[in-house]
Structure 1
Amino acid sequence: MDLCPFAITGPDMSPQTITVTDPDTKRTATVNLIPSSDMPTITSLLPNHQPNLIAIDYTHPSAVNSNADYYAKNKIPFVMGTTGGDRDALISSVTEPKPHYCVIAPNMGKQIVAMQYALTTLEEQFPGAFQGYNLEVVESHQKKKADTSGTAVAVIGSIKGMIGEKDSDGFRNPEDVVLLRDDKSSSDFGVPSEYLDAGHAFHTYTLTSGDGSVEFELKHNVCGRRVYADGTADAVKFLRKVIGEKGGGGGEGL
């Protein structure tokens, strides 16, 4: 698996060339960043790399739907960990008029995905088990994260099913979650100083009984982005395997 020599960057960015270094193997790769305002250039380069091209998308929420539409239109399989955007439209764009090869998840950390699956199972098997309990959620991310944690949204949905509120108001913000996006608040929440801007994802969900005598707490904290990179690489390998079994390609990452 090799990095594609070009990638899409924001529309307001200038074209530039960067060097990417693997911290484990020390391998390096040169990548040309092309602004999304110059999609014709991107499109002109695709034939030289298809059918072995797989896009990896961790972009701004505002670009989720347009990027997915572009991948589907140009038959580029993709792995998307970006949150936000119109999720219903996103699913439609990769299923209609025919299915498109992709892996879409609000969190690419395999262990966190496993936790989410476990919560979904609990919700299905024990609906209303926490009826009468109150839910409080606090999450902290680096200041540049523009939207609410997609993982928090998914976990809240499962917990609400166990509270018995699944079909009421659904996810609400800010009522359902406190967003921490400043250094002091994040530090007070326990985020190490070296990860305030370098990347972190701290979540705490607290369930308290109506009379306040019983409390349950679920917590998952991540420093850095390694867990997401590892999960993303596995998603690319999985997608490549599926495509290969169907007779396609899939070997480079955009």
Structure 2
Amino acid sequence: MIKVLLSGCNGAMGDVLQEIINNEGQMQVVAGFDRMKNEKANFPVYINPKDCTEKVDVIIDFSHYSAFESILDYALTNKIPLVMATTGLTEENEASLIAASKTIPVFRTANMSVGVNVLLGIVAEAAKQLEGFDIEIIEKHHNKKVDSPSGTALMLANEINGALDNSLEFTYGREGKSTKRQSNELGIHAIRGGTIAGDHTVIYAGEDEVIEIKHSASSKKVFAKGAVRAAKYIADKKIGLYNMRKVLEG
């Protein structure tokens, strides 16, 4: 039985993760970390992860980015594998994860969906084949999402740019009367509204033809399932930095 510390356990993703883990059979949430109180949890919930005394095999973090340092410090101090699924991390935070991976197993991806991670290879290959096409990314999320553009949009953009020898410049939205599109732009646009779980569309616009590659998440379950799969994967791994591609490769 894999024993899980669930960081962000009282949030919307925490609720979904608890449901999936409870039905998993091979995993159990033995403790939680959250800055909000919840009397309904059937496991101890700590405001400070340092207070956790339960034996933990892996940490799944779906909390707010402001809690990043405390949860990473707990993982490093106790040498526990960490699945970092929180969005809105800074470049400094990302660098800290890379450094931490030299001490503990760290799983990091901007999107836990298996489908999105398969999509990465598709959009990169399309970019290489569609020479001269203008490329734009549109991402849509619910009205409570705090970071923009989404980490997934940036992940897609970086994958495309890498396939094109990093020749593109990112443009975040457009406004004004002198904003004619430049040939080396990669446009990234964010939409926020309602309860959209997550939509990402990559548009390749050429002369007289348009190709759109889209991924839509209809619920938060796709992200929770990916996080659970990642946690099972790294729970017994040696130190290192892991992502969904490694999981998919087995």
Fold similarity call, TM over 0.5: yes
User: Counterparts of 1:154-169 in structure 2 under 5 Å?
Assistant: 154-161=155-162, 164=164, 166-169=166-169
State how far apart, in whole Å, the 1-side matches of 2:161 and 2:52 are. 47
Q: Is the 8 A contact 1:9 1:33 kept in 2?
A: yes
CA RMSD of aligned residues (A): 2.8
Q: Is the 8 A contact 2:137 2:201 kept in 1?
A: yes
Aligned residues: 200
Helix, strand or coil for the counterpart of 2:112? coil
Give the CA deviation at 1:69: 3.6
Give the CA deviation at 1:53: 2.9
State how far apart, in whole Å, the 1-side matches of 2:73 and 2:173 are. 30
- Structure-1 residue corresponding to 2:172: 173
User: Aligned partner of 1:100: which letter?
Assistant: I
Q: Could you list the runs of 4 or more consecutive aligned residues of structure 1 that deviate by over 4 angstroms after TM superposition?
A: none
- Structure-1 residue corresponding to 2:228: 233
Give the CA deviation at 1:173: 2.6
- Structure-1 residue corresponding to 2:19: none
Aligned partner (choices 36, 40, 50) of residue 18 of structure 1: 40
State how far apart, in whole Å, the 2-side matches of 1:97 and 1:218 are. 33
CA offsets per residue over residues 48-68 of structure 1, 9 Å max, x none? 31xx43111112233335532
1:136 aligns with 2:136: yes
Q: Is the 8 A contact 2:76 2:104 kept in 1?
A: yes
Distance 1:44 1:158, change over 3 A: closer
- Structure-2 residue corresponding to 1:215: 210
- Structure-2 residue corresponding to 1:44: 51
Helix, strand or coil for the counterpart of 2:39? strand
1:7 aligns with 2:32: yes
Q: Is the 8 A contact 2:46 2:52 kept in 1?
A: no
Which stretch has the larger CA shift, 221-230 or 173-182?
173-182
CA offsets per residue over residues 105-146 of structure 1, 9 Å max, x none? 1111122212214444x27xx74x434322222211111111
Aligned partner (choices 188, 198, 201) of residue 198 of structure 2: 201
Aligned partner (choices 104, 123, 133) of residue 100 of structure 1: 104
State how far apart, in whole Å, the 2-side matches of 1:7 and 1:172 are. 39
Q: Is the 8 A contact 2:60 2:83 kept in 1?
A: yes
Q: Which ranges in structure 2 are unaligned for 5 or more consecutive residues?
A: 1-26, 175-186, 239-250
Identical counterparts, % of pairs? 24
Distance 1:94 1:70, change over 3 A: farther
Aligned partner (choices 35, 43, 55) of residue 31 of structure 1: 43
State how far apart, in whole Å, the 2-side matches of 1:70 and 1:159 are. 35
User: Counterparts of 1:60-79 in structure 2 under 5 Å?
Assistant: 60-79=64-83
Distance 1:17 1:109, change over 3 A: same
Distance 1:90 1:65, change over 3 A: farther
Distance 1:182 1:89, change over 3 A: closer
CA offsets per residue over residues 18-75 of structure 1, 9 Å max, x none? 24xxxxxxxxxx134333xxx2xx32323x31xx431111122333355324422332
CA offsets per residue over residues 74-106 of structure 1, 9 Å max, x none? 322211111221245434444359331121111
Q: Is the 8 A contact 1:17 1:31 kept in 2?
A: no
Distance 1:157 1:231, change over 3 A: same
Q: Which ranges in structure 1 are unaligned for 5 or more consecutive residues?
A: 20-29, 184-195, 244-254
When normalised by structure 1's length, the TM-score is 0.67
Q: Is the 8 A contact 1:94 1:100 kept in 2?
A: no
Q: Is the 8 A contact 1:109 1:227 kept in 2?
A: yes
Distance 1:219 1:78, change over 3 A: same
Q: Is the 8 A contact 2:197 2:218 kept in 1?
A: yes
